[in-house]
Structure 1
Amino acid sequence: MALKATIYKATVNVADMDKNVFLDSVLTLARHPSETEERLMLRLLAWLVNAHERLTFTRGLSAEDEPEIWLMNDHNGIEVWIELGLPDERRLKKACNRAARVYLYTYNARAAQIWWLQNQNKLQQANLTVRFLDDEQLKALTQLASRSMTLQATIQDGTIWLSDEQQHLELRFTDWLLDGKPA
């Protein structure tokens, strides 16, 4: 018998001062049986920092031709393509050809740094941004995980203040590539 996805619900309030985006949303995240809670929470964080009323989670790990998260325009074109982890550079190049903006959120310091050394010269796409969240911050982020979450995110000058009813985090990605240029 196949294992089923675990469903998480997140009620989020986003105040992104950098982009002038203010949004309340109820999100449903399906955690694939092979997905870690760390990855699930990074996926949620990626949604928060790119918040938009039409930004949606896709089939994720179950779909080879879709990103983790995307924003489609009115003509079924892809405005934003969001990947997680350490994808093959050909997948990222294909995403850059299909979408106006592509974001990759990486984690797991040891593996991510090796991956970056091997791929950074191949990924100079003008519409690609690569961001890394270190292990300590990811561990703190994962402490917020629960099947039913209420989160407040405030973003200003690239810093993300994220809180639930008991915990308050200050998170900051390390940008490895911004719009195709080394950060």
Structure 2
Amino acid sequence: MALKATIYKAAVNIADMDRNFFYDANLTLAQHPSETEQRMMLRLLAWICHAHERLSFTRGLSAEDEPEIWRKNDHNGIELWIELGLPDEKRLKKACNQSRTVVLYAYGERAAKVWWSQLQNKVSGFANLSVRYIDDELLTQLVAFGQRNMVLQATLQDDAIWLSDAGNNLEIHFQEWQDGGWKQAGQ
């Protein structure tokens, strides 16, 4: 018998001061049986960082030809491709060729730093690729927000994210390993 996904609901109030964007979203996240809580919460955080009416979760781990999150335009073209983890150069190249903007959220302290040292020179020519890294300590603190029904407030300003719920507050800063201009493009 196959394991089923665990469903999470998140009501999120977003105030992105840098983009002058204010949004209330009711999201449904399906945590794949092989997905950790850290990865699922990072997926939610990535969605918050790029919040938009057209931003949507994809089939994720179940689909090799899709990112974790994407935003498509009126013509079904991919405007924003959001990836999580430590993908290989081939996958990043594919993403950069298919989307105007690609943002990768890397995590897993030991493996990520080794992965980046080996891949950095190979992907530095991908002008539309941004790589953001979150350390293990922040990711562990982020998991404290993970409840089956979440009500979250997020404020984004000057490269900081302030996330809160009824019992937790967290200030998050990513390390920017490569800047592909997603902030300037209003992504």
TM range (shorter): over 0.9
Name the structure 1 match of 2:138: 137
Matches within 5 A, 1:1-183: 1-124=1-124, 125-179=126-180
Q: Tell me the TM-score normalised to structure 2 length.
A: 0.95
State the distance in 2 between where 1:85 and 1:21 align: 27
Is the partner of 2:91 in helix, strand or coil?
helix
Q: Name the amino acid aligned to 2:15.
A: A
Tell me which stretches of 4 or more aligned residues in structure 1 moved more than 6 Å.
none
Query: Gapped runs of 5+ residues in structure 2?
Result: 182-187
Is the partner of 1:18 in helix, strand or coil?
coil
State the distance in 2 between where 1:22 and 1:14 align: 6
Give the total of aligned pairs.
Answer: 180
Alpha-carbon deviations, 1:89-116, whole Å to 9, x = none?
1000000000000000011110000000
State the distance in 1 between where 2:170 and 2:79 align: 29
Deviation for aligned residue 1:21: 1.1
Alpha-carbon deviations, 1:51-104, whole Å to 9, x = none?
001100000000000000000000000000000000111000000000000000
Query: Gapped runs of 5+ residues in structure 1?
Result: none
State the distance in 2 between where 1:89 and 1:37 align: 26
State the distance in 2 between where 1:21 and 1:114 align: 36
Is the partner of 1:100 in helix, strand or coil?
strand
Alpha-carbon deviations, 1:2-50, whole Å to 9, x = none?
0000000000011001111110000000000000000000000000000
Is the partner of 1:8 in helix, strand or coil?
strand
State the distance in 1 between where 2:75 and 2:163 align: 34
Is the partner of 1:9 in helix, strand or coil?
strand
Deviation for aligned residue 1:153: 0.3
